[in-house]
A and B are shown apart, each in its own frame.
Chain A
């Protein structure tokens, strides 16, 4: 089990990082037992762990940039919402169809743009994300515009539903953990090595027989899958969706999580999502200065830990390697 070895190696190399994970696990356990109001924050964090882990495969592994992954969450989330709330579909097939639709869109957007170098892809994805938002606002007969869609049923099979706050927390944490394990497995496979090779040097990757355009598209599709999954998870966990949920704010938040956690690393994507989701809670006592304190904390992290939280694994080690995971 390669990924187990990977995680153990990461923990051994970075006791500080391992301590953060223990802290995170303790927090989840505490919230689960006491049923604190923080449970909703953890739902949100777990969904973003999925989203950011996927984005990390495209941006951290393959070294590309996308400002439009919110579109895949929106396509899948809205498909799930409309089919279940308006047409009475069961959640699982609705989510599956939503994810499939998002992947088809990813293929249509990604195939032409990923053949181009430079900023074309970033610009195309930005446009795509903005278009998805506008469609969610304007297509009122289906999305109900700014009003949003409510009454979306929770996930479940037949009578067995994931309805209580605690059950939803367990369900989301399990999906997030699986998503991270899958990303770790990808990173240390032939596929993942091709991704990181492209990020390192496209020319060298080509010279070694790697079809760069094809592997960029693969990374894009995999990360779109994660984004779409996060979109469906959101609507069924919260029971409500509006255009703002999947707006540009989602991209800004995900980027912050990715860089605070440590781009390119598995644990970074997970811890970053958790930390940034919890930050507003930690600084809540400053009431009207909350946004200011939130921003200041982010700046401090980026100045003193530019590699993100995952770079804490380097503390106490001298000059040895951090194999990018």
Chain B
């Protein structure tokens, strides 16, 4: 059974059709990459899946249940967590605190817990430990007490992913995770995504860096002008004539 299913999803901005009857199944486990030229509708697709936009037509199912049009925080609580193309950190908080916020869904308690010094704080050591473990995995442990806004760009991206991982999603959506990363940071990102996927989490990512996609993705889906034009393994997709024409371009056919 597929973990995520898009059923004939169409999304229009006025007269512009950003997504046209996209039907897509994402099986549980592994890494799927969504590729496509600029303006192909990749981020719109992410917005529709994560509840930041409602599809004009069609439906989205996650874990067998319809999540079409649900609020983002409710979809997140079902186990679907995303990052953003333009990194969205809590810039005035420390790196550690950013990740602690990610534990929101796995902790509980409100005002009463905040004001009871002992019993209400029973979760805090666990929150702290989980957050520090994730920072270590992302290679940010030495920056734990720094302000998130002061990090270099590449580390901000890694922090956003670490924060999303703190929510322990079933499906992790990464919007261009490798954009702006150095070679070293990209390598660390690859490691991180592989570790995450190996632990059983399903990863769906949008990416432009084709080399990165070819090494990390188990499956690739190709969008062009809002339409899904191909799905398959990276190798299959690379050989697909439609994909070569639409995305890689004829001059880059030799790449495949």
Contact = CB atoms under 8 A, between A and B. Distances in A.
Contacts, number: 129
B47 to A, nearest CB: 10
B73 A210 contact: yes
A200 to B, nearest CB: 3
B88 A196 contact: no
A298 interface: no
B92 A264 contact: yes
A218 B88 CA distance: 23
Interface in A170-220: 182, 185-186, 189-194, 196-197, 199-201, 203-212, 218
B93 A323 contact: yes
Contacts of B164: 207-208
B54 to A, nearest CB: 14
A222 interface: yes
A157 to B, nearest CB: 23
Contact of B89 (A185, A191, A204, A222): A204
Nearest to B81: A207
Contacts of A322: 147
Contacts of B109: 189-191
A201 B218 CA distance: 32
Interface stretch (B115-123, B200-208, B228-236, B247-255): B115-123
Contact of B72 (A189, A199, A207, A218): A207
Contacts of B91: 200
Nearest to A323: B94
A199 B113 CA distance: 21
Given A191-B113, A208-B81, A209-B76, A203 B145 contact: no
B107 A207 contact: no
Contact of A197 (B76, B90, B110): B90
Nearest to B83: A207
Contacts of A164: none
Interface in B98-129: 100-105, 107-111, 113-115, 117, 120-121, 123-124, 127
Contact of B104 (A186, A194, A201, A319): A194
A295 to B, nearest CB: 29
Contacts of A204: 84, 88-90, 160, 163
A2 interface: yes
A279 B104 CA distance: 42
A185 B90 contact: no
Contact of B121 (A2, A210, A264): A2
B150 A208 contact: no
B4 to A, nearest CB: 16
B245 interface: no
A267 to B, nearest CB: 16
Nearest to B160: A204
Nearest to A203: B88
Interface residues of A, number: 36
A190 B114 contact: yes
A313 to B, nearest CB: 14
B72 A182 contact: no
Interface string A251-281: 0000000000000100000000000000000
Q: Give the size range of B's interface with the partner.
A: 35 or more
Nearest to B173: A207
Nearest to A264: B92
A209 to B, nearest CB: 4
B90 A186 contact: no
B90 A191 contact: no
- Chain A interface, >50% SS class: helix
Contact of A185 (B103, B107, B114): B114
B82 interface: yes
A220 to B, nearest CB: 13
A287 interface: no
A1 interface: yes
A303 interface: no
A321 interface: yes
Contact of B107 (A190, A211, A323): A190
Nearest to B148: A200
Contacts of A210: 73, 101, 104
Contacts of A1: 117
A218 B90 contact: no
Given A190-B107, A201-B88, A208 B114 contact: no
B115 A185 contact: yes
B88 A193 contact: no
Contacts of A324: 92-93, 97
A321 B89 contact: no
A141 interface: no
25 contacts: A185-B115, A185-B117, A186-B114, A189-B120, A190-B113, A192-B114, A196-B90, A196-B92, A196-B93, A197-B101, A197-B104, A199-B90, A200-B90, A201-B90, A204-B90, A204-B163, A206-B72, A207-B72, A207-B76, A208-B164, A209-B167, A218-B110, A218-B111, A319-B150, A320-B145
Given A208-B167, A209-B76, A210-B73, 20 more contacts: A186-B111, A189-B114, A190-B109, A190-B110, A190-B114, A196-B90, A201-B89, A204-B88, A206-B51, A206-B71, A207-B83, A208-B101, A208-B104, A209-B73, A209-B77, A209-B81, A209-B105, A210-B104, A320-B146, A323-B97
Interface of A: 1-3, 182, 185-186, 189-194, 196-197, 199-201, 203-212, 218, 222, 264, 319-324
